[in-house]
A and B are shown apart, each in its own frame.
Chain A
Amino acid sequence: MDHDDDLGRRFAAGDPEAMREAYDRHGTLVFSLCVTALRHREDAEDAAQQVFTRAWRSRATYDPSRPLGGWLTGITRRVVADVGAARTRQVRTVEAEAGRLPREDAAGDPVSESAVASLVVRQALDRLGPPQDEVLRLAFLEDLPYPHIAERLSLPLGTVKSHVHRGLAALRRSLEVSGV
């Protein structure tokens, strides 16, 4: 979810290379959100396909001064809602024909802000690389005090703190540039 190049501008201008780059850069987030929300892999694949084709066809409406990832996330929300509504209609029809009450969970879950933020941050954490990612995991996923982390990783305490601060700053930027 980087916003440090002109990908958004090239995408808006209709550069086919930018379409591929947008997919490479944001495909995992879009697909993961679709799977999480729809809880069905094939439906998620269809939804992710719709997100990118819809994005490309409506690229004229994209403002390249805004993060491309955030715009794609917005499209993902709408596509997931559309797929969920279609599934609900389908289930209602089938259940009505069978004379049963419709299931309430066919629509899946809406794509929540917290799910998007969590995925963006986890993805950014994976990209940090060692030892920064490990320091952050130990500090905030395992809740180890900094001196323990320093001892475990054989690093000076000041270095551990530096990794924490720089790592947190990188994760913060990932949220900012993704427009979450």
Chain B
Amino acid sequence: MSELSVTHDRPGEDPAADLAVRLHREHAAAGLGGPAPVPDDVAAGLDSRSLKEVRGTLRVLAALDAPAPALLAPPAGLWDRIAADLDGTGGGRCGPRLRRRAGGARGPRGGA
């Protein structure tokens, strides 16, 4: 079997991604959770970069399938508390500058 390598020459073509999606769907259809494994014979036909991409994509697909914890922005006052903490207890030169930047009213800029 010749080694498969990723090609992006034409829109809609990415054999590594398509392979990962297929493996993932077979894995999920069997009722199995977590990232699907890449069968040895399939892995043997991939170059190292493509294999890495397939495994990475399988992790993405498993993460999308998993029950997602809520994505929550920190409360508006948390940054001020951090800045004050570093100011008051040995934050070093970071503390005062952080406190000035926080300005007492500035919350996180849209979260992480």
Q: How far is the CA of A72 from the CA of B98 in the complex (A)?
A: 19
A19 near B108 with CB under 8 A, answer: no
User: Which of B10, B68, B90, B98 is the one whose CB lies under 8 Å from A57?
Assistant: B90
Please tell me the number of chain A residues within 8 Å of chain B, measured between CB atoms.
54
* Any B CB within 8 A of the CB of A30: yes
B66 near A114 with CB under 8 A, answer: yes
A161 cross-chain contacts in B, Cβ below 8 A: 11-14
A28 near B91 with CB under 8 A, answer: no
* Any A CB within 8 A of the CB of B97: yes
B56 near A176 with CB under 8 A, answer: yes
Q: Chain B nearest CB: distance from A87 CB in Å?
A: 19
Chain A 15-55 residues near chain B, CB threshold 8 A: 16-17, 19-20, 23-33, 35-36, 45, 48-49, 52-53
B112 near A28 with CB under 8 A, answer: yes
Q: How far is the CA of A159 from the CA of B98 in the complex (A)?
A: 45
Residue of B nearest to A111 (CB): B69
Instruction: Mark B41-69 against chain A: 1 for CB-CB distance below 8 A, else 0.
Output: 00000000000010011011111111111
* Any A CB within 8 A of the CB of B32: no
A45 near B78 with CB under 8 A, answer: yes
User: Which of A1, A20, A31 is the one whose CB lies under 8 Å from B78?
Assistant: A31
User: Which of A16, A36, A57, A176 is the one whose CB lies under 8 Å from B69?
Assistant: A36
B98 near A16 with CB under 8 A, answer: yes
User: Which of A14, A30, A126 is the one whose CB lies under 8 Å from B94?
Assistant: A14
B98 near A162 with CB under 8 A, answer: no
B97 cross-chain contacts in A, Cβ below 8 A: 16
A53 near B64 with CB under 8 A, answer: no
User: Which of B8, B59, B71, B90 is the one whose CB lies under 8 Å from A126?
Assistant: B71
Q: Chain B nearest CB: distance from A122 CB in Å?
A: 5
Known contacts A23-B79, A27-B73, A31-B74: does B11 contact A158 (CB below 8 Å)?
Answer: yes
Q: Which of A78-86, A88-96, A99-107, A164-172 contacts B (4 or more CB under 8 A)?
A: A164-172
Q: How far is the CA of A63 from the CA of B92 in the complex (A)?
A: 20
Known contacts A31-B73, A53-B82: does B93 contact A117 (CB below 8 Å)?
Answer: no
B71 near A122 with CB under 8 A, answer: yes
Residue of B nearest to A146 (CB): B12
Q: List 8 contacting pairs A-B, 8 Å CB cutoff, sorted by A.
A: A17-B101, A28-B108, A45-B74, A45-B81, A49-B81, A53-B82, A140-B61, A168-B20
Interface residues of A (CB under 8 A from B): 1, 14, 16-17, 19-20, 23-33, 35-36, 45, 48-49, 52-53, 56-57, 114-115, 117-123, 125-126, 136, 140-141, 157-162, 164-165, 168-169, 171-172, 175-176
